Structure 1
Amino acid sequence: MSTDKWNLSFKVQRKSGMAAAEWNGDNRTIEQLIEDYQPGYSMEQQFYRDPEIYQREIENIFLKHWILAGHVSQIPNAGDFFLFEMDRESVIVIRTRDGEVRAHLNVCRHRGSHICLEKQGNAKLLTCPYHAWSFDLDGNLVSARLMAEDFDKSQNGLHAAKVELVGGLIFISLSDNPPSLATMRKDLGDVFDTFGFDHMKLAASKTFPIAANWKLAVENYQECYHCTPSHQEYAKIHALALAPEKFAELKEDYLAASDGSVRQEESSCYFDRAKPGDEGYQYGRNPLLKGMKSGALGGEAVAPLLGKLKRHDGAASEFMVGPLSFFLIYNDHMVGYRFVPNSHETCSCDVFWFVRDDAVEGRDYDLEKLTWLWDITTQSDEEIIVNNQKGVDSHFYRPGRLSKMEYFEQSFLNWYLAALKG
């Protein structure tokens, strides 16, 4: 179907084992929709509305890749836990008695009830509130009342999720064979060391529910074409909001003045560049506007310097891992973004603020000043994304031409379509 055709009717059906969408009499399969995508443009309406496409995304993306779950500072003691939730899944992230971080599906092996009903807490045992089956912190079933003599508790432990730590960041995957993080660890080891990833703590977090398809939220994060008209506060601090030519000049000046204490060169095998079997990642460093030190009101520093840093050099690093977890690293704090779907029509953006693990609130940093920029920016993004969804839902929506400032969004779209195809 030409991108000039208006999408006038929508009906999801099964055809030849694949979802098909009737759009003005056009019965293309998901594979045909992928094949018909025109590079340099946004995607057709089906990708943001079709529940069958969404289920394919759950299987091919969300159940396979690594996703930021939280931080070790949230669970300092044995038995401390918190829940990570997306779509229909709930995962218990917990500190075991031997100090390990583990993750278990929050699904009782008896009849499937959720076990942990609170978002966070401390437990000596994980006891199902329905029939009192109890599991230890490692997920082993230790008690099941009145079962038959041939019942084997050792075969009825909680389903485990894979866990990887990147510094103190906790990533989980629901795949039995998730992509490897080894290439990323080797490539970015110096970055993690410079910024002290092993010596941070979570200072604050906030969840922003968004009444839109998850891809519109991720696509919005991929480009700064909207930053100047939509984020006045951001645009007064970050050079990325500038036109490409002006940004290039400022970056050239910044690189010329750099003392090499922070890695400058981009490192990327992200999205469509990742090697088979590897998780995609990206690292880059970009200047702030002249005179700016950090992402705060007036560009002022708001917390102690991270890791091995000795000064503010007027720049910030970007670190991305997998398709849903993003980080912006200022010299004095780090901001994490996580995008997760709740349904094909809704998603959430979770924002995390990290500081040095020895920083004391009220003495070394003020929480309101620390969170100000990305709180107000994400609130604006929520409105932008919801309005985007409303327009995409229109009978008269057609894919539009991408700008030269949306090149990274194009990389995301290329990766997404390949992942959807499988």
Structure 2
Amino acid sequence: MLNRFASPISSLLDARADGHSLPAGLYTRDDVFEADLDVFFMRHWIYVGLECEVPEAGDAVVIDIGKISVILLRDDENEIRVVRNVCRHRGARILDAGPTVVSKLVCPYHQWTYELDGALSYAPHMGKDFDKSCRSLKPVQFKSIGGLIYICLADEAPKDIETLDEVMRARLAPYDLRNAKVAHQVDVIEEGNWKLTMENNRECYHCSANHPELCVSFVDLDFGFDPESLSAEDREQAEAHFAIYAERTKAWEADGFPSATVEQVRDCETNFRTQRLIIAGAGESQTEDATAASSKLLGKMTRKDLGDTHLWGHNSWNHFMGDHAVTAMVIPLSADKTLVRTKWLVHKDAVEGVDYDLHKLTHVWIETTNQDADLVARSQAGVSDPAYEPGPYSRFSERALDDFATWYIDRMRAHGY
């Protein structure tokens, strides 16, 4: 690891002004990209998938992150495992990226064969004295939080993941994500740095002008506004909205549904925010008309009026509603390219065309993600222009961006940059 005072990256970190966006090099430079992978995707907990993606023994999903590849699978004892996708013989990849079904993990190069728990069971022509017991696939630390799989690729994993687990266990329990299924998945490659992708997601300053489909069910006031810029009528409407919020949150919590805002966004290792948000309009789901997309509700849900339990992490965002859930994972591909993988979840027994319409289920977030991809590309083009200089965040609508940038700088410095 480079000493931060000797690293040219340190000057960029030092140049960041409070309340302002990051210096250009932190979005554009290849050495910063490699440092980001090292710090935020190898040494912190990251969201990579779902238990329900591997419902039966032998189900597996391969996730590639930079030069690293991991296998999320379910073993013969019905337990979740996460192992490195690297054969212990000469390092060949065992499985290709994406989902698959296997009875054993067989390296295609020399047929070294591993059980689903990662133990090496067959290594031809290695001699009688070869000890297979010390050549198991390397395990990866993971934690299932309500059915969401988080991994940490470092030897020493941040311990404050326990706060996220404690907060989300009760919030996610009614949705029973372990008994959901992925109804649809879309991968979008955004032409921008991963931090621009995350910043764009963490504010709704841009929503009313760019996301007509989402704004049917989304209330942009929830993400801040300047009260002095509002007319008396709009200010009165905003005050009424937040009065309803307080009343609704109190009622939800009285009914046993945790709803209040919980943030761990500064002075921490594991960055997250959660809150139960009111859904606008019909109030049921993030669809074109804000009504439920699936008649078969998730898990133990019996109500459609419980809003949107949202959860942010530093490489993910999630929305959990009575009828379906949307999860998005962010994986950096280069300094100016980012993969956004979005999945729509429904009850495992829901039948397409009977219980839900796929277009209604997916339309809002397909459109929103495509619109965001355009905005991120515009942002990347702008920060790459010599005319760019870091601009001020709105203290009303972009406080979360200031939190994120501050956390980013602090974590980079904590790891020696």
TM-score, length-normalised on structure 2? 0.88
Please state whether the residue corresponding to 1:223 is helix, strand or coil.
coil
Partner of 1:133: 112
> Does residue 399 of structure 2 align to residue 407 of structure 1?
yes
Displacement of 1:148: 5.1
Partner of 1:109: 88
> More relative contact order in 1 or in 2 (CA 8 Å, sep 6+)?
2
* Structure 1 Cα separation of the partners of residues 214 and 58 of structure 2: 40
| Change over 3 Å in CA distance of 1:297–1:17 after alignment to 2 | closer
Is the 1:67–1:171 contact (alpha carbons within 8 Å) kept by the matching residues of 2? Answer: yes
Partner of 2:309: 317
Is the 1:45–1:398 contact (alpha carbons within 8 Å) kept by the matching residues of 2? Answer: yes
| Change over 3 Å in CA distance of 1:188–1:81 after alignment to 2 | closer
Is the 2:63–2:97 contact (alpha carbons within 8 Å) kept by the matching residues of 1? Answer: no
Residues 188-209 of structure 1 show CA distances to partners (whole Å, capped at 9, x for unaligned) of 3321223334443222211111
| Change over 3 Å in CA distance of 1:122–1:199 after alignment to 2 | closer
Is the 1:228–1:241 contact (alpha carbons within 8 Å) kept by the matching residues of 2? Answer: no
Is the 1:283–1:317 contact (alpha carbons within 8 Å) kept by the matching residues of 2? Answer: yes
Partner of 1:236: 216
| Change over 3 Å in CA distance of 1:19–1:305 after alignment to 2 | farther
| Change over 3 Å in CA distance of 1:67–1:97 after alignment to 2 | same
Partner of 1:333: 324
* Structure 1 Cα separation of the partners of residues 188 and 167 of structure 2: 32
- Flag structure 2 segments of 5+ consecutive residues without an equivalent: 228-236
Residues 140-196 of structure 1 show CA distances to partners (whole Å, capped at 9, x for unaligned) of 222222225554322222121112212222222212222233222323332122333
Displacement of 1:266: 1.1
Displacement of 1:250: 1.2
TM-score, length-normalised on structure 1? 0.87
* Structure 1 Cα separation of the partners of residues 15 and 102 of structure 2: 52
Is the 1:251–1:286 contact (alpha carbons within 8 Å) kept by the matching residues of 2? Answer: no
Is the 1:103–1:160 contact (alpha carbons within 8 Å) kept by the matching residues of 2? Answer: yes
| Change over 3 Å in CA distance of 1:289–1:139 after alignment to 2 | same
> Does residue 185 of structure 2 align to residue 205 of structure 1?
yes
> Does residue 73 of structure 2 align to residue 78 of structure 1?
no
Partner of 2:289: 298
* Structure 2 Cα separation of the partners of residues 89 and 249 of structure 1: 50
**Which amino acid in the other structure matches residue 185 of structure 2?**
S
Residues 250-305 of structure 1 show CA distances to partners (whole Å, capped at 9, x for unaligned) of 13224325632333311222x2153x6xx333211222324332110111211133
Using the TM superposition, name which of 242-251 and 115-124 deviates more: 242-251
Displacement of 1:18: 6.8
| Change over 3 Å in CA distance of 1:310–1:182 after alignment to 2 | same
**Which amino acid in the other structure matches residue 284 of structure 2?**
K
Which one of 278, 292, 315 corresponds to residue 287 of structure 1? 278
- Flag structure 1 segments of 5+ consecutive residues without an equivalent: 1-13, 21-28
- What is the aligned-residue RMSD (CA, Å)? 2.3
**Which amino acid in the other structure matches residue 170 of structure 1?**
I
* Structure 1 Cα separation of the partners of residues 4 and 291 of structure 2: 57
Is the 2:52–2:178 contact (alpha carbons within 8 Å) kept by the matching residues of 1? Answer: no
* Structure 1 Cα separation of the partners of residues 308 and 3 of structure 2: 50
Is the 2:20–2:393 contact (alpha carbons within 8 Å) kept by the matching residues of 1? Answer: yes
Partner of 2:230: none
Partner of 1:353: 344
> Does residue 384 of structure 2 align to residue 393 of structure 1?
yes
> Does residue 344 of structure 2 align to residue 364 of structure 1?
no
Is the 2:61–2:99 contact (alpha carbons within 8 Å) kept by the matching residues of 1? Answer: yes
Which one of 409, 412, 420 corresponds to residue 412 of structure 2? 420
> Does residue 181 of structure 2 align to residue 190 of structure 1?
no
| Change over 3 Å in CA distance of 1:16–1:204 after alignment to 2 | closer
Is the 2:59–2:100 contact (alpha carbons within 8 Å) kept by the matching residues of 1? Answer: yes
Is the 1:290–1:314 contact (alpha carbons within 8 Å) kept by the matching residues of 2? Answer: no
Displacement of 1:313: 2.7
* Structure 2 Cα separation of the partners of residues 315 and 76 of structure 1: 27
Please state whether the residue corresponding to 2:213 is helix, strand or coil.
helix
**Which amino acid in the other structure matches residue 350 of structure 1?**
R
Which one of 165, 180, 183 corresponds to residue 144 of structure 2? 165
| Change over 3 Å in CA distance of 1:199–1:120 after alignment to 2 | closer
Identity among equivalent positions (%) equals 30
* Structure 2 Cα separation of the partners of residues 392 and 232 of structure 1: 26
Residues 32-80 of structure 1 show CA distances to partners (whole Å, capped at 9, x for unaligned) of 3222210111111110112222222122110122222222222222211
| Change over 3 Å in CA distance of 1:97–1:366 after alignment to 2 | same
